[in-house]
Chains A and B, each alone.
Chain A
Amino acid sequence: MSDAVVVDKVTKVFNQGRPDEVVALSDVDLVVPSGSLISLIGPSGCGKSTLLRLIGDLITPTSGTVSVAGKDADTARRQQEYGIAFQQAGLFEWRTVVRNVELPLELRGMSRADRRSRALEMLSLVGLSDFAGHYPAQLSGGMQQRVAIARALAVQPPLLLMDEPFGALDEMTRERLQSELLGICAKTGTSTVFVTHSISEAVFLSNRVVVMSPRPGRIVTAVDVDLPVRDDTVRQSEKYFEYVTAVRRALRGVPQKSPL
Chain B
Amino acid sequence: MRRVLLVLAGIAIFAVLWEGYKLVGSPDGTVIFGVRVLPRADDLSMPHLWTIAERLGRPEIAGGRPVGLVVLQACAFTFGITAVGFVIGALVGLVLAVVMQRFRLAERGLLPYVILSQTVPLVALAPLVAGWSGNLSFGPYPWQDWMTVSLIAAYLAFFPVAVGMLRGLQSPAASGVELMRSYAAGWWRTLVKLRFPAALPYLFPALRLAGAAAVVGAVVGEISTGTRGGVGRLIIEYAREATSDPAKVYTAMLGAALLGLVVAGTVGLLEIPLMRHRRHVEVVTL
- Min C-beta distance of A127 to chain B, whole Å: 9
- State whether the Cβ of B243 lies closer than 8 Å to any Cβ in chain A: no
Q: Which residues of A contact B197 (CB under 8 A)?
A: 92, 94-95
A257 on interface, CB distance cutoff 8 Å? no
Which A residue sits closest to B285, measured CB to CB? Answer: A140
Instruction: Tell me how far the C-beta of B189 lies from the nearest C-beta in chain A, rounded to whole angstroms.
Output: 6
Q: Tell me the complex Cα distance, A32–B173, Å.
A: 29
Establish whether residues A103 and B282, one from each chain, have CB atoms under 8 Å apart when the complex forms: no
Judge whether A80 is part of the interface by a CB distance below 8 angstroms: yes
The size of the chain B interface, using a CB distance under 8 A, is 24
Inter-chain CA distance A108–B182, complex, in Å, is 12
Q: Mark B205-239, 1 if CB is under 8 A from A, else 0.
A: 00000000000000000000000000000000000
Stretch in A5-13, A17-25, A130-138 with 4+ CB within 8 Å of B: A130-138
Classify the secondary structure of B's interface with A.
Answer: helix
- Interchain CB contact under 8 A, B277 and A93: yes
- Whether A137 contacts B277 by the Cβ 8 Å rule is yes
Instruction: Report whether B200 and A80 are in contact in the complex, using a CB–CB cutoff of 8 Å.
Output: no
Q: Which residues of A contact B185 (CB under 8 A)?
A: 107
Given A138-B283, A139-B284, A140-B283, verify A92-B194 contact (CB < 8 Å).
yes
**Interface membership of B134, Cβ < 8 A:** no
- A84 contacts partner chain B, Cβ-Cβ < 8 Å: yes
Which of chain A's residues has its CB closest to B190's CB? A107
Tell me if A135 and B277 are in contact (CB < 8 A). yes
From the candidates B178, B181, B183, B280, name the one contacting A138 in the complex (CB within 8 A). B280
A158 at interface (Cβ–Cβ under 8 A)?
no
CB distance B182 to A137 under 8 Å? no
CB distance from A152 to the nearest CB of B (A): 9
A125 to B242, alpha carbons, bound, how many Å?
75
Choose among B175, B200, B282 the residue with the greatest number of A CB atoms under 10 Å from its CB. B175
Taking A107-B183, A137-B280 as given, write out 4 further A-B residue pairs in contact, using a Cβ cutoff of 8 Å, ordered by the A residue number: A58-B178, A80-B182, A92-B198, A94-B277
Residues of B at the A interface (CB closer than 8 Å) are 173, 175-176, 178-179, 181-185, 189, 193-194, 197-198, 200, 277, 280-286
